[in-house]
Structure 1
């Protein structure tokens, strides 16, 4: 599978994992402190071929994603769940630990960030569905992020991400129905 866009990853091991899964070019951020030259390289890649941001599902990965989002709007975003980013043995979390199948699926489901957002789902909706407060909120956000393919977020990030990917009320309601049904089945 050939990917037209250039994929932004955190490091060399991520590039190796991407190349095992697909035929693609990458830009490595080499840490969470993005240099001006790296941002310029990402900006140029976005103008020429497009960019898919594919960072680790952890705090540093989210920080990189947010910096790119602020400085190079309009990129696509690919996400994997934490459970798919853990090594078979040992510690750590990252794209480099994901299987080629998980990486392919994430890249196929990469979503375009919309620069102009329309708020359809309110913060009150998130509270109503128990995504912000309560003992089940974290687990519900994890499941919702997986269903909508927007990755795991905390409550505040969830609201922003739903807007960023312009998730409709209908899609949100369908996904929440699945989340609540899975919860009942457990």
Structure 2
């Protein structure tokens, strides 16, 4: 049984999580978080801790940002879009148990004092911004690092605020290069 409570978007996300592992979930019901749902999340956050596991789409990112502002020490788990897509639909409910377990194995925590280890230069130098295929490379690298997908600005923010080390970054880049080489 997972100690932390997983915050997901809907009932079918809970079904997918339960196929992967024994864990308690709280469903947000989309972006319109009801006051009782926020109280339930707050109680779980204080007592057991929470891990935010929202869909890898625009709505899921908005929910994640909103919850992270309210619960800054929440764990962040990201299922890559490629692993959460089936039947022309994107969401945690589409993910296989192995993809959910892989995301939970790479949980990140937002750091209060983000480092400025990485700069835009790192993104440009490694074809993660301003180059053809940069979005795809960010998506793949985000999956390897467990920080999810984001535009260049958000990706840089995640590199610096989720505790990614230079060594992890370089190792993931090498792995990305090996996959394409």
TM-score by length of 2: 0.93
Paired position in structure 2 for 1:142: 139
Paired position in structure 2 for 1:10: 9
In 1: Cα distance, 2:123 partner to 2:35 partner: 36
Matched, 1:62 2:61: yes
Superposition RMSD on alpha carbons, in Å? 1.5
Q: Which moved more, 1:103-112 or 1:59-68?
A: 103-112
CA contact (8 A) 1:121 1:168 kept: no
Paired position in structure 2 for 1:133: 130
Q: 1:179 to 1:105 in 2, by over 3 A?
A: closer
In 2: Cα distance, 1:33 partner to 1:175 partner: 36
Query: Which segments of 5 or more consecutive residues in structure 2 lack a partner in the other structure?
Result: none
Matched, 1:110 2:107: yes
In 2: Cα distance, 1:54 partner to 1:78 partner: 5
Paired position in structure 2 for 1:167: 164
SS at match of 2:89: coil
Paired position in structure 1 for 2:71: 72
SS at match of 2:153: helix
* Runs of 4+ residues over 6 Å off in structure 1: none
In 2: Cα distance, 1:40 partner to 1:119 partner: 34
May I ask how many residue pairs the two structures share in their alignment? 181
TM-score by length of 1: 0.90
In 2: Cα distance, 1:30 partner to 1:131 partner: 33
SS at match of 2:72: coil
SS at match of 2:26: strand
SS at match of 2:6: strand
Paired position in structure 1 for 2:32: 33
Using the TM superposition, give the Cα deviation of residue 101 of structure 1 relative to its aligned residue in structure 2, in angstroms.
1.9
In 1: Cα distance, 2:108 partner to 2:115 partner: 16
